[in-house]
Structure formats: C-alpha cells, structure tokens
Amino acid sequence: MSRSFKDKVVIVTGSSSGVGAHAAIYFAYNYASVVLTGRNVERLNEVFRKCKESGVPRERLLVIQADVTRRSELARIVDETVKKFGKIDILINNAGEGKFGGLMQSTADDFDKCMETNVKSVLNLTKLATPHLIKTKGNVVNVSSLLGSISVPAALVYSMAKASINQFTKCVAMELAPHGVRVNAICPSYVEDTRFIEGSLLNIPDIETFNQSKERQHPLHRNVRMEDCTKAIAFLASEDAAFITGTLLPIDGGRKCTDVSYAGPMLSSNR
Ligand code: NDP
C-alpha cells in the first residue's frame, strides 16, 4: 500500500510501543507530520529514532510525554500540536491497557482505572481535538477490540471499556458527520508482539504456547500482526475511506463469525 499523508497532521496516542508505534512510523514514512505520545520517554525516543532512520525529517515529528488519564496533559498534546504544526487532521486514539479477570476477581478500582485509561481519555482528547478536526474536516480512528463485541468472561472490565469505545465511535460519528468529520474504529483480536500482555499482568509462563492457542481461535489460523492494524487504521484515516464513518472494523481473521471457543475447521470432509 502506498498511501500519502502529505501535509496531514496526525496524533497517535500510545505511540511508544506496539500498534501505536507501528502506525506512527507508517504515517511518518508516508509523509505525515506525526505527534508521538505516551508516558515512557525512552520508548518514545526509540520510535522517534526509527522514524528518522527511515528518512523522516525531525521537523515532521513531535514527541510529547503525556499520561492520557490526566486531562491537563491531553490539553498539552492538543496545544503543542497546534503550536508546532498549526492544525490537526487525524487523531488515532490508540493508548490503552488490558485488565483481565472475571466478576469475582474484578474490583471497582480495576474498573475505574480501566475506564480512565481506555475510555475517559478518548472522550477527553477527542473533545479537545474536535474544534481543530472540524476546521480541517479531519477524522478519528479509535483502537477498540474484538472484546468490545464478543463476550469473554475473563476479560470483564476490559470488554466493558471497549464496548464503550464502540458506542462512543458510533454516537460521535453521527454527531460530527454534519461537520464533515469522520469517526471509525478498528477492532483487533489478539495482536502478537506488543507489550499488551505484559501490561495486563496476565500470568503467561510460555508465550509461544499461548500464541499457538490463540492462533487456533482464528479461522485464518494466525494471530493479528501489527501491520494488519496499521493498514486498517491508515485506510480508515485516508481519503479512500471518505464515505465511511461510524464503522467498527474487525481485524480478526474471521474470529467474530465463530463461536469464541473455535479451535479449527468444524466440518468433516469424509462424505
Ligand atoms: P502496548 O502495551 O504495546 O501499547 C499500549 C500503548 O498505550 C503504549 O504506547 C502505552 O504507552 C500507551 N498507554 C497506556 N496507558 C497510557 C497512559 N495512561 N497514558 C499514555 N499512554 C498510555 O499494547 P498494544 O499496542 O497492543 O495496545 C494498543 C491498543 O490496542 C490498546 O488500546 C489495546 O487495548 C488495543 N488492543 C490490543 C490488542 C492486543 O492483543 N495487543 C487486541 C485488541 C486491542 P506508555 O507505556 O509509554 O505510556
């Protein structure tokens, strides 16, 4: 895919690792001015370095250390972006954190923290960016999850958070459509090679075995790769998706079509 984002200003939250870092590098490589933001400065600098190594001039990059759960820091992301680049065209609400456990393991504090990081931050940042997005007739892509629409009991509060993001996406898409601003979401199932599992504090002794068990849940028989997410994000953020808004795009190798316990082809071929 060679899609140019020349003259576009893109904010990617959570671009210090995983899906966000991959997408940010893609946008920068495709000529956008990109705001890299997250809490971990070392990892942000590493992404900055990778962008520069692929030929992106430093003038098109802005690194902002910020915690998305703090409203004042979200305001700083918007202010510093507009100060440096003069506008905002695309907002990628990607920063997020997993939280696993069923009803009896989940506390009210878990719920609050999960909603602060995954939902309230998206509401606050989108609100702050909206006047700028209206000026540019820009767009928003939220990184939701397949867990926002399928029910996995062991991911209770996280699933509740991502279900909220799905409704947020659709409601705000309708609200902003008269202004020419589009709002969409991608809904990946399990993405390999990010820091997500580490961050969720899931106790997984053997990641290889875990990855293989996840592969079997996807009819296309592999897990999601970061580039699958990036391509979908870039498509939704681009002019190619000019007539698409309020969509929740599964990136799941067909998993949503199946029962969640899907473990391989179910039809026997001996007749
Ligand atoms: P990573 O843990 O690799 O990335 C998460 C990113 O979010 C990091 O850059 C982290 O930055 C940032 N972040 C988390 N909390 C905060 C905070 N309070 N303030 C600012 N930044 C924050 O995981 P992924 O790349 O996998 O996750 C990206 C998105 O994809 C998330 O929304 C996640 O829910 C979603 N997703 C992931 C799936 C997976 O299987 N990996 C599946 C479906 C959806 P830092 O630590 O520097 O603050």
Encoding tokens for residue 115?
């909603």
Residue 270 has pLDDT above 70, yes or no: no
- How far is it, in rounded angstroms, from Cα 99 to Cα 113? 9
Options 29, 31, 158, 190, the catalytic residue: 158
pLDDT class for 258, splitting at 50, 70, 90? Answer: confident
Q: Is 145 in the pocket of ligand 1 (CB under 6 A)?
A: yes
- Cα(66)–Cα(97) distance, integer angstroms: 15
Q: Is the CB of 229 under 6 A from ligand 1?
A: no
Phi, psi of 94 (to 5 degrees): -110, -30
| Whether residue 31 lies in the annotated active site | no
Helix (H) or strand (E) holding 251: strand 248-251
- 196 alpha carbon – ligand 1 mean position (Å): 6
- What residue type is 169 in one-letter code? T
Contact 196 CB / ligand 1 (< 6 Å): yes
Ligand 1 centroid–CA 265 distance in Å is 32
Closest ligand 1 atom to Cα of 44: 47
Binding site membership of 190 for ligand 1 (Cβ less than 6 Å): yes
Distance from the alpha carbon of residue 139 to the mean position of ligand 1, in angstroms? 20
Q: Which pLDDT tens digit goes with each residue over 40-57?
A: 999 999 999 999 999 999
Handedness of CA 130, 68, 188, 148 (dihedral sign): negative
Provide the token pair at 210: 């875990």
Q: In the predicted model, is pLDDT for residue 141 greater than 80?
A: yes
Is the beta carbon of 124 within 6 A of some atom in ligand 1?
Answer: no
pLDDT tens, 233-254?
A: 999 999 999 999 999 999 999 9
Mutate to test the pocket of ligand 1, among 43, 159, 162, 191 (most ligand atoms within 8 A of CB): 191
How confident is residue 261, by pLDDT bands cut at 50, 70 and 90?
low
Q: Catalogue all structural domains in the chain, each as residue range(s) with its CATH number.
A: 9-244 (3.40.50.720)
As a whole number, mean pLDDT of residues 59-67 equals: 98
> What is the number of alpha carbons within 13 Å of residue 51 lying toward its C-beta?
32
Per DSSP, the three-state class of 174 is helix
Mean pLDDT value across the chain: 93
Specify the amino acid at residue 215: E
Which ligand 1 atom is at minimum distance from the Cα of 14?
9
Coil vs helix vs strand at 194:
coil
250 lines ligand 1 (CB under 6 A): no
The structure's pTM equals 0.95
Q: Does residue 256 register a pLDDT over 60? A: yes
